[in-house]
Each structure stands twice: as structure tokens, then as C-alpha cells.
Structure 1
Amino acid sequence: MKIIMEKICVRTGEKFTISDFEKSYLEERGIPLPDVSPAWRTREQYANRNEGNMFERICDKTKKTIISSYRPDAPFPVYSNEAWYSEEYDGLAYGRDYDFSRTFFEQFHDLLKTVPRPSRQGINMENSPYVHLGANVKSCFLTFVSWDSEDCYYGFRVFKCRNCVDCTEITECELCYECVDCGSCYNVRWGYHSFNSRDSAMLYMCRNCTDCFGCVGLEHKKYCIWNVEYSKEEYEQKIKEMNLGSRKSIEELQKKFWELVKEKGLNYSTITNSEDCTGTYIDHSAHCKNSIFIKESNNILNGYHVRASRDTFDVAGVAKCELVYRSSSMVSTYDSQFGCMNQNNLHAIYCNNIYGGGEYLFGCVGFSRKQNYCILNKQYTKEEYHELLPRIKKHMESTGEWGQFFPLSMADFPYVDTIAQQHFPISSDEEAKRLGVYWLGKKAFTTTETAISIPDTIDQVDESICDQVLQDAETHRAYKLQKKELAFYKQMGIPVPVYSFNTRNDRRSKILFQI
């Protein structure tokens, strides 16, 4: 990609550049060059990604209680996944004519508020009602953007893993706890940027290590503590003396561990096996610029969490996509623009929650089965579609809408429930109003009851604690333990956490993004 021009963002006033690839792609499709910066475009995509909140609500079809990524007061109907994918539901029933006396976004917003959405996004989520943006997962709980995993709790971007708790960005791991950016690890606790290691704790940038504790930057080592090698017998005795079953002891050891990390001053490379790339956490990719969490992809610009994709830019959460632009949460999609939550589509523009395949769709919402040649959920013949679409584009050009992403006020989720709040935080109702976002200021459930005293060691805890409402030691937010979660802690000899799922995730995120 070659930079060919500079522009000024109409929202922030900052300068940004346009590449030859962007210009060629957009000109070919008759889309104007963006007038907002990459950072603003990223914010737009992030504002449509809920990666950490689930709610109990009523299914608007069956009237039964369900778990959903959408709040109970969402401004549109929400169906259980079973009801939404059933033969009774038909997105075409909400079709309407295009009204040239109104703006496109006005009409699309009306459609958004009318058409039901599935309660959660994902496929093959067995016994995992609290999983969102998942695929092929079994018996997982509060795990997001994860697939091919089983018995994982409180995870983010967990791939091909088993029996892992409180982990972020891990692949092919088992029996791991509080790990960040790790791969092919077994029985590792508090591991960071470490790979192919086992039976260890508090590792940072370690590879192929076994039976190590508090180590930084080691490779192919065994029986090491604080980067010092011991005999097997010496190692085991010293580990016993550390009392790793005590929360108080662990907290003191972690202070020493992070001091060692700082002392070593290692520069962790987040771009591996890649060519001509800029950004962080890029692996086996080429020509990816200003991107993060990219795997096996080529020619990606301004991408977040992109896998097995190519020639795609300004996207968040896409896999197996090609020629996709300014879109969020897309899978197996080709030559599509301005979309959210779409899968297996070709030539889809300004569409939301389109599944089951389909091609040549414009301004459509909520298809659970394959549909072709539709505009605002109304079916047309191939000839009618291609005759009407240019007229709509011309109308949108006259209103200044063509080439713009959905306004933040039309996002699927309240801003505070999305990763936009994590990366581009809003602190007040006034700021939210100024930016025009779908806001709903966060009101976390807290407990006013006297918090129970959580024992220092796991052997002092029995299953009755799962019936208690616990209080986050930092935020006072209420949280509870799951029985399978408690069983994991007992198996691993780990004390019960005194922080809620949200606080624990925030702490891991800070470690992940401090690179």
C-alpha cells in the first residue's frame, strides 16, 4: 500500500492519509473516499461489538426467559436463537418499499427497530447460554469471541482450548488460569506472552519451559525459580515453601514477579512470521497496516481481530472475508460494505444480522435464511434490483449518506456495553449527547449487603459459597461463583478471586495492551 493523499477528519480535525489500495477499491465501487479518520472509523466498528455483557431478558416471541447480548430494554424485538432460526420466522415479512422522500438512514433505522434479532451471535454453542460471538463451543460460560473450545469460563478470544479460566487471547491451551497471549500451554497459571510451556506459574515471554516459576524471557528451561535453575528436588521444596494456595502469598509473589519483568526490560515483538506489517499481535500475515489481532491474513488496513481474510479494511471481528469495507462482525463474506453481524454473504451493502447466505442485498436486517436481491427486506427480481439500486445510491449521494457508516445512534448496542467504551471511553451523558451515540450510562449491579469474608485458601471454601453474592474488592460490583468454576479452583489449588469477572478482564486487557 502506498500513501497518495492526506485528508482532515470532519469529526476530530486530525489529519489522516489515503492509500492507493483504498482509492482504487472505493473508486471501483463508486464509494467516496472517507471523510473521517481511521480512529473514528475504528470507533464506529467497536461501537457495534459487545464482547463482555450478557443479560437476562424475555424472548419477544416465546415470552420465555433467555440470556442475550441485548439488554431487556433494547429498542427492537429479540428472539431466542431457536425461535429466530425456526421456520416460523421470516425476515421478508418486514419488507417495505424504498421511500425517496426520506433519507436512507431514517428508513433503515425504522427497519432496525422493527425486525427481531437473535439473542446471541454464534453457531454450535452447546450447553453455553452465556457465550456470545462463539462457534463450536461446549459447556463454556461468559466466554466471548471464542471457538472450538470446551469447559472454558470467563474467556476472551479463546481458541481450541479446554478447561481454561480467566484467559485472554489464548490458543490450544488446557488447564490454564489467568493467561494472556499464550499458546500450546498446559497447566500454566499467570502466563503472559508464553508458549509451549507446562506445569508452571508466573511466566513472561517464556517458551518451551516446564516446571518454572516467576521466570522472564527463558527458553527450553526446567526447574527454574526467578530465572535461577535448581535440581528437581530443590525446585519442589522451594515451591512448597511459597504456599501458592494462599491469596496473600500469591499477591506478594506477583509484586516480585512484575518487578522482575520490569527489571529485564524485554521488548516483546507482537508481529511474528509476517511481512510488511504494522500494528500489534499480527501472526502469519502480510501487508497488514495499523491493525491488531491479525492471523493468516493479507492486505488488511485498520483491522481489529481479523482471521484468514484478505483485501479488507476498516473492520472489526472478521474471518474468512475478502473485499470487505467498514464493517463489524463479518464471517465468510465477499465484496460487502457497511455491514454488521453478517455471515456467508456476497455483495451485501448496509446490512445487519444477515445469516444463512445470500447475495445482492441492500439495507436489509434480520435474515436467518438465504435471500437474494432484496432491498429493505423486500424481494425483487434480479433485473428490478439492479435497476433500483443505482437510483437509491444517487439519492443517498444527494443526502450525503452514501459512503457513510451507520450513525453511532443506530448501533446495535449501547455504547457502554461495547469495546468502544474500553478504547474510546465516554465519561458523561453530555459527551455522549455531543457525539450522538446510543449511550445508556452504565449501572452496574452492586450489593449493599455486608460482603462475606472470602477465605485466603481454597481448602477453606465449600460449595455453599456459590449461593452467596460476593462483592468486588475494588468496584463493589456484585458477582457470584459457578459450581464448575469452584471445582476448577479446587483442582488447581487456586484461591477464590476477590474481584468480579469484569474487573479481572479489565486487568488482563491492560496487560494485553501495554505492549
Structure 2
Amino acid sequence: SQAIYKENHNDRDINCLGDYIQGAKNCYMCFYSLSSENLAYSMGNFQVKDSYDAFGGLEGAFIYDSNGGIGNYGLKFSFGVKFSRDCEYCDNCANCHNCFGCIGLKNKSFCVLNKQYTEKEYWLKLDQIKTQMLKDGQYGEFFPPELALVPYNISVATSYQGFDDIEKAKQYGYVVQDIHETSPETIRQIIEASVLPKDIKNIQDDICDKVIFDQKNNKKFRYIKAELDFCRRHNLSLPLEHPSVRLTEGRKKLGPITLKFYPRGCAKCGKKMQSVYQPDKPQFVYCEE
């Protein structure tokens, strides 16, 4: 018999289109949105309101085109900002307000490119910068792909279905890094994953100093101490596949995460619905009714 798939995994949602939405209201094209309201094209948010293109946010409002923020208000085009308001193009700043193009600042205000200005100077400088950026077509988007912190091919992006095309990533401007051959010194420290003891009690602490070779996927990796401690605490065998493979397989079990929804009919009652499963695919998808 063929498996039956749910229309979505939403719970206690009102007027939402997405998947894995819980206790939320008015969320359109969203994934993993919890206790949030008035979101669109967003993912991984908890208690976030009135935001668009927000990824990985916690307890914020009026967030636009930003990633990984906590406790922010009026944040635009920023990454990793915490407990700040009215900041744009900022990276890893905390407890700041009215800052533009700043990195790593704490408890600051009226700064541009990490330089302190008076409030009057700040607004004049900001007007000059935004005017020029608008003329050059640069304002209004997140940081360009070439400024990504890690090369695309070794980032978690490839673990999402439909985002593993490296050549297409290059066309968008993402940096792709060649993976170098393992040095002779490192080769002597390599252990094939298949020969590792299954019983975690037989694993020594120095396993974290070794390079593990995942033969199945032709990838090398290391264990970290936190991972070893976790497996010991729960009496689990060490995972034998490369972390990126584990992440990819885990995401597959959650269903497609592509921010695309398709009209299709319920396989049981025929009711029209929106689903992440394409209508030309063989899955049996049932509506909530």
C-alpha cells in the first residue's frame, strides 16, 4: 500500500498558507512559523509579527529581508542582529538603534559603517547614502551573494531540496570553493566509518582528533566533543554518515521545503487544496477534513 501524506502539518493556524505553522495567524507562504502573525515568505520564526522575508527570527516585529535576529523592531537587510531597532544592513550588532552598515557593534546608536555621528549628522549621512544606493540600484535587497560567510557548496543551503545545483548558485553570484585533497599527515589519522565500534562505550575520547571517512558518500568529517557527549549520554551509536548527508536526509523526511505550493485535489474527497506536493507526483495527499 502507498503512504498517505497530510495536506500540511499546521496546527491551530488561522488564515495561513504554508507548512509546519503552529498557533499563528495570517501567515502566507511560510514554514516553521510558531505563535506568529502577519508574515509572508518567511521561515523559522517564533513570536514574530508584521514581517516579510524574515528567516530565523525570535520575538520581533517589522522585520524585512533579514536573517537570524532576536528581539528586533524595524530591522531591514540585516543578519544576526539582537535586541535592536531601526537598523539597516547590519551584521551581528546588539542593543543598537538607528545604525546603518555596521558590524559587531553593541549599545550604539546613530552609527554609519561603524563610525559614530550625532543624530543630526546621522540623518544627513543616511539620506546621502540611500539616495546614491537607489540611483545605483543597490538599496532594498539583502547583502549580495558574494558576501556570504561560507562558500555555497559547503553551506547548509545544499541540504534543502532544489538548492543543490552548484552551477546555478554560481550564476546567482555565490562563491564556490574547491575542496582540497587531504594532506598525507591527515590521511594517517583517517578512520573508515564502517570499522567504528557500534557500542558507544567502546569509543575513546581521541575519536574527536581523527578524520572519519564516510565511504558510502565519499566524504570526510570529524566528530565534535558535544556530539560525542550527546551519544554517550543517550547511549547512541555514533552516526556514520557525513553531517551534510544526515541533514539532507532529515529534511527529506519533513517533506518538500521549497516555498512553493501547488493546487491539487484531495486523494480521498476531491476537495481542492494547496500543497507542497506537486500534482503530477504520485503521493496520496489528504486534506484535513
TM-score interval (norm. to shorter): 0.7 to 0.9
Pairing 1:113-124 to 2, within 5 Å after superposition: none
Q: Which residue of 1 aligns with 2:173?
A: 436
Distance 2:29 2:191 in 1: 47
Q: Does 1:400 align with 2:145?
A: no
Conserved 8 A contact 2:25-2:36: yes
Over 3 Å counting, the alpha-carbon distance change for 1:301 and 1:499 in structure 2 is same
Q: Does 1:359 align with 2:97?
A: yes
Q: Which residue of 2 aligns with 1:324?
A: 63
Q: Does 1:381 align with 2:118?
A: yes
Within the candidate set 341, 344, 347, 2:86 is matched to 347
Over 3 Å counting, the alpha-carbon distance change for 1:282 and 1:345 in structure 2 is same
Within the candidate set 195, 201, 207, 1:454 is matched to 195
Displacement of 1:480 after TM fit?
Answer: 4.8
Report the 3-state secondary structure (helix = DSSP H, G, I; strand = E; otherwise coil) of the residue aligned with 2:165: coil
Distance 2:24 2:204 in 1: 49
Within the candidate set 159, 170, 173, 1:422 is matched to 159
Conserved 8 A contact 1:447-1:476: no
Distance 2:98 2:82 in 1: 13
Q: For residues 334-391 of structure 1, what are the alpha-carbon distances to aligned partners after superposition, in whole Å with 9 as ceiling and x for unaligned?
A: 1121111111111101111212x11111111221x21111111111111121233222
Q: For residues 425-447 of structure 1, what are the alpha-carbon distances to aligned partners after superposition, in whole Å with 9 as ceiling and x for unaligned?
A: 2324xx45432223224559695
Q: Does 1:487 align with 2:229?
A: no
Distance 1:284 1:444 in 2: 48
Q: Which residue of 2 aligns with 1:252?
A: none
Aligned residues with identical type, % of pairs: 22
Distance 1:447 1:476 in 2: 14
Paired amino acid for 1:451? E
Distance 2:73 2:35 in 1: 17
Distance 1:488 1:292 in 2: 32
Within the candidate set 255, 274, 279, 2:18 is matched to 279
Over 3 Å counting, the alpha-carbon distance change for 1:398 and 1:501 in structure 2 is closer
Q: Which residue of 2 aligns with 1:192?
A: none
Over 3 Å counting, the alpha-carbon distance change for 1:323 and 1:486 in structure 2 is closer
User: What is the CA RMSD across the aligned residues, in angstroms?
Assistant: 2.8
Over 3 Å counting, the alpha-carbon distance change for 1:328 and 1:434 in structure 2 is same
Segments of 5+ residues of structure 2 without an aligned counterpart are: 257-275, 277-289
Q: Which residue of 1 aligns with 2:73?
A: 334
Paired amino acid for 2:96? G
> Which of the pair has more CA radius of gyration?
1
Paired amino acid for 2:120? E
Taking structure 2 as the reference length, the TM-score comes to 0.74
Report the 3-state secondary structure (helix = DSSP H, G, I; strand = E; otherwise coil) of the residue aligned with 2:92: strand
Paired amino acid for 1:458? D
Over 3 Å counting, the alpha-carbon distance change for 1:386 and 1:464 in structure 2 is closer
Conserved 8 A contact 2:12-2:24: yes
Distance 1:422 1:326 in 2: 21
Q: Does 1:302 align with 2:44?
A: no
Q: Which residue of 1 aligns with 2:244?
A: 502
Displacement of 1:331 after TM fit?
Answer: 1.1
Report the 3-state secondary structure (helix = DSSP H, G, I; strand = E; otherwise coil) of the residue aligned with 1:361: strand
Paired amino acid for 1:484? D
Conserved 8 A contact 1:416-1:442: no
Displacement of 1:297 after TM fit?
Answer: 0.3
Distance 1:421 1:457 in 2: 29
Report the 3-state secondary structure (helix = DSSP H, G, I; strand = E; otherwise coil) of the residue aligned with 1:395: helix
Paired amino acid for 2:27? C
Q: Which residue of 1 aligns with 2:203?
A: 463
Paired amino acid for 1:335? G
Moved more, 317-326 or 379-388: 379-388
Distance 1:350 1:465 in 2: 43
Paired amino acid for 2:137? G
Segments of 5+ residues of structure 1 without an aligned counterpart are: 1-261
Distance 2:216 2:45 in 1: 33
Distance 2:91 2:222 in 1: 34
Over 3 Å counting, the alpha-carbon distance change for 1:442 and 1:305 in structure 2 is farther
Tell me the matched-pair count: 246
Distance 1:376 1:480 in 2: 38
Distance 1:330 1:475 in 2: 34
Q: Which residue of 2 aligns with 1:370?
A: 107
Distance 1:473 1:508 in 2: 19
Conserved 8 A contact 2:64-2:75: yes
Taking structure 1 as the reference length, the TM-score comes to 0.43
